[in-house]
Amino acid sequence: MSATELIRALDKQRRDELLPTTLEPLDALLGGGLPRGKIVELAGRRSAGRFSIVLAALAAATSAGEAAVLVDLGDHLDPQILEANGADLSRLLWIRPQTMKDAVHAVEMIAATGFQLVVLDAGLHPIRGKRVAEASWVRLARTAEAQGTAMLISTPYPMTGTASEIVLNAQRVRPKWTGSGKSPRVLAGMTVDIAVTKHRHEKEGRSARLEFVTLEAATR
Amino acid sequence: MTRLACLIVPMFPLAARLRSEPELLSEALAIVEGNGNNAHVVAATRRARKKGIHAGLSLAQSRSIMPKLIARGRDAECERTAQEALLEVAETFSPRIEDASDGVIFVDISGTERHFPSERDLAAAAIRACDGIGLPARCGIASSKLAARIAAELPQSPTIVDRGGEAEFLAPLPLVRLSPQLDTAATLQRWGLTSIGELAQLPESEVATRLGELGRELHYAARGIDPRPLIPRALPPDFREGMDLEWPLVALDPFLFIANAALDRLTKRLEIQGFACRRLEMTLTLEPDGYDARAIDLPAPTRDVKTMLTLIRLDLEKKAPGAPVMGFAFVAIPDRPRRAQLSLFGPSALSPEKLATTIARLISMLGEDRVGMPRTVDGHLPDRYAIGAYNPPPPPDLSRPPKKSRGLVAARVFRPPLPIEVVRNDEAFVAIKSDGDINGDVRVSSGPWEAEEGGWKETPNFRQYWDVELEKGTYRIYQNDGWFADARYD
């Protein structure tokens, strides 16, 4: 095997590998992790655990030495929580656009640079700026495929249409509190249900339950 | 034996101008020197020459022959940058080059035999490289500077003079080729000499007796002996491009159109040398007098014209020059582009140049404080953050498994915090209202937690925090001269 063939084979092997989020129920739902070269859309309304999943995916990728990007339309990131989650902040590029159009443009530019994980968090409803044409998502899907980039789009409602490989729907169950009676109450965590509403190669309708804990509860 | 190549750009002032304004190539254009009645033609395009315009004619005479003749003054900035570009092309063939005069360069090609099948191939490659930067050049190769220069001046380029064949090559050529400004030409003509070979056949001592030291040098030259060594030039610390404009520009877009072409030439020159631009300095010549100098630092060395142009646009939009622009000069401070080490078994590395270009474009699109690496900040208030320059470490040599996530609940921070109205019953929260969508009865709440920063200040930032669960979400709220929601648990 020549060096060129070896490099091509390793590149293909790398593209076939999944990018785990290390949230076991979610990885099981995705077949092992986020697929490289594809768009996974995560939709969910208020407090549905979308941002917690986004941070977990970023923490997992950067801790493995991969370069990752967060395009943070709502400017919501708290670097302290992300670092506490195990992320290597030096490998994360944080982009804070002000409109959805700029956000999609930024994702397209940055994906073409060769980042292994690109996450677009569209923030809260209503989304800033005009709705993005479906053609833009198709273009993003092509860029992701060409570069072998795993792309996670987190939105308050489904937006990517036919461009996404998998669409997940996040539903908040209830936050968990500790303490009752006269003892002080503390927010301890959150339970989130995730359902697959679209999958190009597997059956839809499967679901999983994720448990998140607050930093205070985790350090107690 | 040293072998020298000479690169000559005929009608250099015209070639330099056409390099900056290539659309004038097919026009009847004359480059003039001097002002008013003293203005005279120094070079003209083929179309103008066909009508009888030639060097030495006054502008008035030229206009009487061809009223629609386009006249452009000599542009020192154009000529300087064209000369630099020519030197840089020559440097791609050999590190030892001499800047002889405008449009004339000597290159020591000794030792390049292994890179080119023959000297003719080398000369053809040099001509092609000059064409690539918009300068039509001729090339001559010989063992002395004089012979190489005369060979380059001949129309059938490239001309190769065999080793030791300089005298034989020069012999049939007219005496004027030895030096165009030959004062003794008339004397030699009176002696009945017409060719260089005839001068070479005269006894050296006789010529020296009659014409002095100049005669001895001429005789040496006629025999192909040129003892002058090549004087190598030192590498310039920066790269420069610019031009004087025919009329003052007051709008940004026409300036950027011209700047685009100049930056394109600049980046090509940087590429030839294997450099990228780390810092771009821009000097604008203003009307009626004065300069506007500014510098743009690039996030990393880049050769991307679009990025540089966008940064220039933003800089000029932020602070306009304040007067019409009569000319401009760009100076690129060069640096080696960063290279990525490819990894076979670890995560793929980002291309530093591509990354720098993309980040520069993102900064120009979104603003400097909106792109970078998130950084934690020491303190007590939970909404603290910082953003720094993105400069990731190289990826690990071997792929490693990710750390298991702690599965922490993330707080979506609201920047700035959203003002809310809190309805309380004794010590318990009853409801929260706001102009946005943070509304509803409070199901569960916990707190307060106190946080303070700046305790040493006269008015420290003291806040009391609560977590509250509403029907449509769980929020972090605080009280400090009013009530605010600063995050949603998501």
Is it the case that residue A132 has pLDDT exceeding 90?
A: no
CB contact under 8 A, A96 and B366: yes
Per-residue pLDDT at A82? 94
| pLDDT (mean) for A115-129 | 87
- Give B342's pLDDT tier (boundaries 50, 70, 90): low
Per-residue pLDDT at B49? 92
Per-residue pLDDT at B331? 93
- Give B256's pLDDT tier (boundaries 50, 70, 90): very high
Task: End-to-end CA distance of chain A: give it in Å, rounded.
Answer: 55
> What is the rounded average pLDDT for all residues in chain B?
87
Q: How far is A173 from chain B (nearest CA, A)?
A: 11
| pLDDT (mean) for B292-310 | 85
**Whether the Cβ atoms of residue B383 and residue A1 lie closer than 8 Å to each other:** no
| Residue of chain A whose Cα is closest to the Cα of B391 | A90
Which range is most confident: B105-109, B302-306, B315-319, B404-408? B105-109
Least confident segment among A123-137, A184-198, B319-333: A123-137
Is it the case that residue B324 has pLDDT exceeding 80?
A: yes
> ipTM higher than 0.95?
no
Is it the case that residue A1 has pLDDT exceeding 80?
A: no
Mutation site, A5, A55, A155, A210, interface B, largest B CB count within 10 A: A55
Per-residue pLDDT at B459? 78
Per-residue pLDDT at B210? 86
Give the rounded percent of residues in chain A with a pLDDT score beyond 90.
60
CB contact under 8 A, A95 and B350: no
Q: How far is A130 from chain B (nearest CA, A)?
A: 17
Q: How far is B486 from chain A (nearest CA, A)?
A: 10
Q: Which of A65, A92, A175 has its CB closest to that of B373?
A: A92
DSSP string, A134-164: HHHHHHHHHHHHHHT-EEEEEESS---GGG-
Please name the residues between 154 and 213 in chain A that touch chain B, using a CB distance below 8 Å.
172, 175, 177, 179, 184-187, 189-190, 210-213
Among candidates B341, B354, B450, which has minimal Cα distance to B394? B341
Contacts 24+ apart (CB under 8 A), A3-8: A6/B344, A7/B342, A7/B344
Per-residue pLDDT at B166? 86
| pLDDT (mean) for B231-251 | 84
Mutation site, B408, B415, B434, interface A, largest A CB count within 10 A: B408
CB contact under 8 A, B411 and A81: yes
- Give B182's pLDDT tier (boundaries 50, 70, 90): low
Q: What angle do CA B62, B66, B67 make, to 5 degrees?
A: 100
β-sheet with B461-470: strand ranges across: B440-441, B428-433, B411-425, B483-489, B473-479, B461-470, B444-453
Residue B294 burial (10 A CB sphere; 0-12, 13-18, 19+): middle
Q: Which of B370, B385, B407 has its CB closest to that of A211?
A: B407
Chain A residues touching residue B445 (CB < 8 angstroms):
185
Place of tokens 């994702």: A107
Chain A residues touching residue B352 (CB < 8 angstroms):
none
CB contact under 8 A, B358 and A90: no
Give the rounded percent of residues in chain B with a pLDDT score beyond 90.
32
| pLDDT (mean) for B131-142 | 92
- Give B341's pLDDT tier (boundaries 50, 70, 90): low
Per-residue pLDDT at B343? 67
Chain B residues touching residue A59 (CB < 8 angstroms):
402-403, 405
Q: Is A100 on the interface with B (CB under 8 A)?
A: no
Euclidean distance between CA atoms B334 and A141, whole angstroms: 37
- Give B374's pLDDT tier (boundaries 50, 70, 90): very high
Q: Which of B366, B374, B403 has its CB closest to that of A102?
A: B366
CB contact under 8 A, B410 and A125: no
Least confident segment among B84-88, B214-218, B266-270, B366-370: B214-218
Q: Which residue has the higher pLDDT, B235 or B169?
A: B169
Mutation site, A6, A77, A118, A143, interface B, largest B CB count within 10 A: A77
Q: How far is B304 from chain A (nearest CA, A)?
A: 14
| Residue of chain B whose Cα is closest to the Cα of A99 | B366
Q: Which of A11, A64, A74 has its CB closest to that of B412?
A: A74
Write out pLDDT tens, residues B140-181. Answer: 999 888 889 999 988 888 999 988 888 888 888 888 787 655
| pLDDT (mean) for A201-209 | 88
Is it the case that residue B352 has pLDDT exceeding 80?
A: no
- Give B34's pLDDT tier (boundaries 50, 70, 90): confident
Residue type, A56: A
Least confident segment among A94-98, B287-291, B350-354: B350-354
Least confident segment among A181-190, B137-146, B301-310, B470-479: A181-190
| Residue of chain B whose Cα is closest to the Cα of A105 | B362
CB contact under 8 A, A187 and B489: yes
Q: How far is A168 from chain B (nearest CA, A)?
A: 16
Per-residue pLDDT at B20? 86
Write out pLDDT tens, residues A25-47. Answer: 999 999 899 999 999 999 998 88
What are the tokens at B447? 């707190």
Distances (CA, A) of A16 to A9, A19, A37, A131, B264: 11, 10, 9, 32, 40
Q: Which of A79, A184, A213 has its CB closest to that of B408?
A: A213
**Whether the Cβ atoms of residue B100 and residue B86 lie closer than 8 Å to each other:** no
Per-residue pLDDT at B181? 56
Q: How many CB atoms lie within 10 A of CB B342?
A: 10
Chain B residues touching residue A216 (CB < 8 angstroms):
none
Place of tokens 């941002």: A51
Per-residue pLDDT at B339? 67
Q: Is A83 on the interface with B (CB under 8 A)?
A: yes
| pLDDT (mean) for B87-111 | 89
